[in-house]
Structures are given as structure tokens and as C-alpha cells.
Structure 1
């Protein structure tokens, strides 16, 4: 029974992170921390790293915090929550940084309907170079209109 509860918490956390990614992207990255995110929309440097990468560090620290809460018997749910945040971060990295932005040159020829829809939605998001008038702030769940041929 405990395993089932941990799995539910893990998958619930993973799904909740899509909402958190959307919320953080729309209201924080395109809000008061735009100065960290703007180099992702319009590259103004020659470095492989972006200031935008700082957001990965924030969620990594949150995930590690939950692992530590579990490790030191402070909160039993820390492990499935920490793993859910980590798993979402890994998926986000694979989809966003590797597949969409090709920071590593793999998954270049992925050609299924879901992948095309996610790539199309993200391209529409990057069409807007400024802080305002953006669209498609989520990552793994995007509007159905981007899956049409």
C-alpha cells in the first residue's frame, strides 16, 4: 500500500510540475525575473550557458531539499516528491534543451505527431522576443491546435 501511495505522489508531483513550469514561465520568467530569461529569447552573448539556466538550479535545490527531508526522517513523502520534481526536470531538459533547442545534437530527426506539436508550440512562444504578448508557456502539455497538420 505504501508503494502505491508513493507512486501516486510521484506521478502527481510530476504532473503538478507542468503547471509549475507554466506558472513560473508566464509570471516569473516573463515577469519580474525577465532579465534572467530574456537571453533565452534573444541571445545576447557567445556563451553556451544562458542566464535562463539559473531556473534549473532553483528546481534542483527544491528537489534536493525534499530528498533531504526524507533522508533525515523529517517528511516521509520527500522521496516521491523529490523524485517527481527531478523526473520532470529531466524530461524538461530532454524536450526543451535537447529536442527543441538542440543544445546537444541528438533527437534531430524525431518526427512523431506529439514531438512536432510541442516543437511548433514552442516555436510560436519564441516568435515573441519581448517580455509581453507571449503564448504557450507550458512544455509537455500544449494546446491541441499545434498538433494539427
Structure 2
């Protein structure tokens, strides 16, 4: 049973990349642009952005699944919530810490994969408006950003 729960957690983590891409493309750059727009603008000295509301929005399903997963003993819902949580942690570390340097923990890297992620995200941010965006994912980016 433990192998099944690990598989559910890993599969959920991997599927979250698709959820992130779709949400970023059609929600953040769509009807919830008001909250995401400040993330594409020159930075102000404030610690928080309106865009940070999405951390709360993405945490809600994980919290609910943790709760439901404990109702009748540990079940698959808990491990789906765990996969979402792990993806959220990875997102925070890569997007906010590594790429945007909101926290000065990892200033430099020579890792080709992480450099490719930074390049793709920089390409995404060259568009200040919600239209004409590209590279909406976080962990998977087109191969061309690793060759540059």
C-alpha cells in the first residue's frame, strides 16, 4: 500500500505542472489578471504582491484533501494533498527564491536546468500585459532554453 501512496503523491506532483500551466495561462492571464498583473510590473519595495493570493488559492485544495484524507484513517486523498503541497514547496523555492530572488538564499547557480528555468521565466516576463505570453509552466520549459 505504501508504494501506491508514494505513486499517488508523485503522480499528483507531476500533474500539478499541467494544472499550473493551465491556471497561469487561462486564470492568472485571464479573468484574475488583476491579482497577477503586479507580478509583471517593475518591483516596488513592498514585501507582498497581490499575486501572492494564488499561494492561498492553491493551498486550499491541499488543506481540504489533508482533512478528508484523515477522516476515515489515512487514505488516497491525503496523498493527493501531499503531492499538491510538495509542488507548492517546489514552486516557492524555484519561482520566488531562485528566479525572482524575493529571498536571497540562492543567488547564483551553474546548474543548466535551473539556468534554463530562469531564461524561460525571463521570456515570460518580457510581456508586461496579459496577452502574448509564453512559458506558463514552472518545472517544464521548452528545450530551446537549455540550449541558449
Using the size of structure 1 for normalisation, the TM-score is 0.95
Partner of 1:50: 49
1:28-107 pair list within 5 angstroms: 28-43=27-42, 45-73=44-72, 76-107=75-106
Partner of 2:116: 117
Give the SS at the match of 1:78. Answer: helix
Deviation at 1:44, TM superposition (A): 6.8
Distance 1:70 1:78 in 2: 5
Find runs of 4+ consecutive structure 1 residues off by over 6 angstroms: none
Deviation at 1:46, TM superposition (A): 3.9
Give structure 1 stretches of 5+ with no counterpart: none
Give structure 2 stretches of 5+ with no counterpart: none
Give the SS at the match of 1:134. Answer: coil
The size of the alignment, in residue pairs, is: 148
- Structure 1 73/103 Cα, relative in aligned 2: closer, same or farther at 3 Å? same
Using the size of structure 2 for normalisation, the TM-score is 0.96
Distance 1:21 1:43 in 2: 23
Quote the RMSD (CA, aligned, Å). Answer: 1.4
Distance 1:101 1:46 in 2: 14
Summarize deviations over 1:100-145 as a string: whole Å, max 9, x none.
0000001111111001100000000000000100000000000000
